[in-house]
Amino acid sequence: MNLHAIRAIYVYEMKRFFRTIFESLLSPVISTTLYFVVFGAAIGSRIEEVEGVSYGAFIVPGLIMLSVMTQAISNASFGIYFPKFIGTIFELLSAPINFFEIVLGYVGAAATKSLLIGGVILITAGFFVDLDIQHPVMMVAFLVMICVSFALFGFIIGIWSENFQQLQLIPLLVITPLVFLGGAFYSVSMLPEGWQTVTLFNPVVYLISGFRWSFFGVADVSVGLSLAAIGLFFALCLGVVWWIFKTGYRIKS
């Protein structure tokens, strides 16, 4: 394995992040504060508890998921799209580095960035509500798996996109609505029975449910299903990335 190449890609991507670190970290802090003002104060005054957890604390896992999913996708998609846009991707493809090492560098950097943002949101949330994380190891494991999986998904979007507008198409029109409809700010059990069945077809439900379980020990679906959903999504993304490099889809042309 070419560790020097992986490190070069990773360090380059992280330096790009740290050049705008103030803006990168300030944005989630402001967004989290606004969510707590709107959801925690306005709605929380009417819904005191959900499944034995205060509403303000209940929405924290959903807030973190919303940010890390979109950030992982955005960072990974832009990271690989920009070399395509300026043409330097051909230098990367001609270098003595295989597709796995390329993906490891870009996806690793994007996942690291989203992990940092997730940590900032968690710290910010601690100023508004009392958080007692029941399964901290599983919380970190869920967070890492989700960051890596969605960074892979973002890498695919970056390869697929033909312009900067397409980079934001799926995060804005697909991922964000799925998160809002996936129990980020409510429990699926609060919905009418028919809508509960419909909601279970939303794959994001399984991710948020497992992550919330690691905080409070409550979940809308079993933890095993949540882990299986994350594993399946990761495997699908990895398979698509392998196919992209094997066929040269939108890379070599």
| Structural contact between residues 215 and 52, judged by C-beta atoms closer than 8 angstroms | no
Q: Under the phi-then-psi rule, with left for phi > 0, alpha for psi from -120 to 50, and beta for the rest, what region is 56? A: alpha
**Quick one: pLDDT band at residue 27, thresholds 50, 70, 90?**
confident
Q: What is the DSSP letter of 171?
A: I
The pLDDT, as a whole number, for residue 238 is 94
Token pair for 144:
């890492």
The pLDDT, as a whole number, for residue 44 is 63
Residue of higher predicted confidence among 180 and 23: 180
Domain ranges of the chain: 3-247
pLDDT (tens digit, 9 = 90+) per residue, 89-128?
A: 888 888 888 888 999 999 999 999 999 999 999 998 888 8
Residue in 96, 135, 118, 150 with CA at minimum distance from that of residue 217: 135
d(CA 112, CA 227): 20
pLDDT (tens digit, 9 = 90+) per residue, 174-212?
A: 998 999 899 888 899 888 888 889 999 999 999 999 999
**Quick one: pLDDT band at residue 41, thresholds 50, 70, 90?**
low
Residue in 110, 116, 119, 47 with CA at minimum distance from that of residue 80: 110
